[in-house]
């Protein structure tokens, strides 16, 4: 209960729920206040790498009653994770691409395919190296380089059928037509 009074019915039984951030009259059900603001929020990193918001709810009636806020905040964690995923993918594309002696255009195209795969959540549940290899092979097929999926399989010591399944899924989901081997010249090799 609160010392507040409902403007609609005059009832003094007001339920203030700090977790939801609202104040509701128990007599008539009117929402008297919502989006109760938080004053002076700071963020503290916890041991798991997440962030916790630390602050106090402040009521608009100026009663001075404030409760602390300490829930876990994950707002920027997703963005950092995505950036880290992209950075890791780019590094692996460059490493594997240099072993295949692909030029920078091919590496950039493979990274663009990888970014598309990440944005469509096609990397979830798959090993990054498999997705990277599939993106590189997709470039090899679209650009007509002399590389086969078996070359990537040998480099990574991964079953060729596993890479093939990932490649076919990427080509289908990204709507990229991968022409048959031998259609174009070898313009992406050094």
Burial label for 165, CB within 10 Å (0-12, 13-18, 19+), is middle
Q: Which residue in this structure is represented by tokens 């395919």?
A: 113
**Beta-carbon contacts of residue 103 (< 8 Å; ≥ 6 apart):** 188, 189, 190
Q: Show the tokens assigned to 30.
A: 């009117």
Rg (CA), the chain: 28
What are 100-140's pLDDT values in tens digits?
A: 999 999 999 999 999 999 999 998 889 999 999 999 999 99
Counting other chains too, the contacts that 90-99 makes at CB distance below 8 Å and 24 or more residues apart are: 90/114, 92/128, 92/129, 92/132, 93/132, 93/135, 93/136, 96/132, 96/133, 96/136, 96/152, 96/155, 96/156, 97/136, 99/155
Residues of the chain with pLDDT under 50: 1, 64-76, 182-190
For residue 176, the model assigns a pLDDT of: 87
Strands (E) located in 11-158 = 14-17, 22-25, 31-34, 38-45, 51-57, 68-69, 72-73
For residue 187, the model assigns a pLDDT of: 44
Q: Show the tokens assigned to 176.
A: 């990229």
Q: Cα(27)–Cα(8) distance, rounded to whole angstroms?
A: 10
For residue 185, the model assigns a pLDDT of: 42
pTM more than 0.95: no
- Domains of the chain as residue ranges with CATH: 14-73 (no CATH), 77-173 (1.10.472.10)
For residue 5, the model assigns a pLDDT of: 84
Q: Cα(106)–Cα(86) distance, rounded to whole angstroms?
A: 17
């Amino acid at each position: 209960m609160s010392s507040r009074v409902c403007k609609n019915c005059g009832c003094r039984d007001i339920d203030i729920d700090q977790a939801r951030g609202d104040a509701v009259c128990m007599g008539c059900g009117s929402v008297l206040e919502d989006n109760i603001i938080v004053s002076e929020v700071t963020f503290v990193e916890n041991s798991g790498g997440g962030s916790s918001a630390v602050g106090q709810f402040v009521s608009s009636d100026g009663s001075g009653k404030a409760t602390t806020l300490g829930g876990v905040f994950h707002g920027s964690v997703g963005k950092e994770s995505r950036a880290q995923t992209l950075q890791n993918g780019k590094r692996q594309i460059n490493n594997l691409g240099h072993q295949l002696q692909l030029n920078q255009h091919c590496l950039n195209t493979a990274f663009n395919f990888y970014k598309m795969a990440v944005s469509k959540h096609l990397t979830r549940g798959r090993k990054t190296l498999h997705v990277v290899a599939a993106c590189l092979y997709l470039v090899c097929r679209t650009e007509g380089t002399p590389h086969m999926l078996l070359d990537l399989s040998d480099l990574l010591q991964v079953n060729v059928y596993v890479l093939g399944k990932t490649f076919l899924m990427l080509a289908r989901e990204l709507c990229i037509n991968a022409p048959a081997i031998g259609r174009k010249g070898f313009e992406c090799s050094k």
